Structure 1
């Protein structure tokens, strides 16, 4: 026989409340069970991290089981998987909590690790899976849920995924609800949608949160770009709203009508793993809108160095330069 996977990892520390705060508030793990002064159990992807007080674990079984006593002397070790981009994010996040990075280096065979300590002195590592030669996650020739109820967005994503043999399944065709976009950033909203779809479908899910940010409007409509179109998703109305606000500011010259599109792509797996990819394209806003292609604010957006709006470009021309195409190129580099 052959064991299939490691189900749980155990660490020890006497200050259970401090360890709970570290792994829940700093590392972001979900608490599954706790017994005051004895243990706290966390869920992480497809595994569990169990933290025990060695003073009680070595002498008696926990109250609800007949598991034998156990324990360890000295500092333990746990390693969390992280991509190259995530390692930088973890460095900043840990630093923001006043947690020192003990080591940061590249392994001779490739891959990087960073290390810190938890409140009990256990070694906590974040590392790229390639340090062990583990295969990276791939979406090639896989089924993928597209977590969007926007027909135009689903069509464009399908056109971008097609060359990689991906079978894209619209969330609506599976009867999946469209979660409320309660995040304050494109990344938060994209992750919310991809994780909900992956959990509900049991398949990898791709979500996009995108919008247009107008410099003269302080970045609005930004994450609220779709809301400016109202419940009827009337983007002609949304474009008029943008234009009226620009006119009220006297923003008629091109240099006062600068804007950029943002696309945040989020891919989530049922085990909780998630990867995000951002793309941007800069340009100016024209009035009246031009062209019948694309969707959303495309007819009023003129990309830098081009003489046609996104609404005037055919799909192939738009896919060469669009914000979503930029994000997709990053996604392809990482997952195909």
Structure 2
């Protein structure tokens, strides 16, 4: 009887692996299709021949020049979506909070406020300075939210973390507006950046972000096993050999690097880190060894598609991707809260 049960379990595991491999193929295909749509659709649609020529660097016609501009935009959307999706999955694992998201927990708002302070008070202009400042602001905001959410009985519960994050986001946004209002010299650019978008991307702007994104990616992916253990509870994780504090700190650092670098170049884009991990759990389950890479790939797809939608529905102008993701993410946020029934928080 036990032998039959063991065989059934192994068969189930094999089917699970085959199912995950199949979903991986689907997600990779979806990413490729999203990239093709991104370079072909917008305020001006282009044909396949123009896409091939534009990708190769040829800009002899207007359509080919449009494609050449859209290529770095597509790359940035893929990288930013992957970073935010992965960071959201890690934050949900670290805090054991289904509502965790770089926007909801105030991390993006903290990064944005730090960048605005640097621009307004210290004359900061270089992208390298933006990156370091955004990462510092994201880290401070994450530590502050976790510290506030840990106060009182029960420690850092999901509800207290969500409330602390929401309060931090509102306070940071208000302080940012107070800094910008009297500064007409930076107000226009900052307000557009605050919405969150990938327009105007260039490879010169993307390259300085890659080391930060790479380090954050590695830290997050290496934390997969630790996050699986943390899901069992701190005491159980420690009993299984995990160094709980170090595991949580390493994973959080990776998420902060991803959020800070993305916010520095794109502005604060919300809800990607909330929506994507929940979608991926439906596909591959709760094992972070699969969930994290799937969240990165799916996040890239989501942000690319959101960018394409923003170009199409607002023709002949464009709608920033941060607005589109808010329309998608807000209903999902409400649905998650209703599923949790608040009492479980």
TM-score, normalised via structure 1 length: 0.22
Higher share in strand? 1
Q: Which has the larger radius of gyration?
A: 1
- 1 or 2 for the larger relative contact order (CA 8 Å, sep ≥6)? 2
TM-score, normalised via structure 2 length: 0.21
Higher share in helix? 2
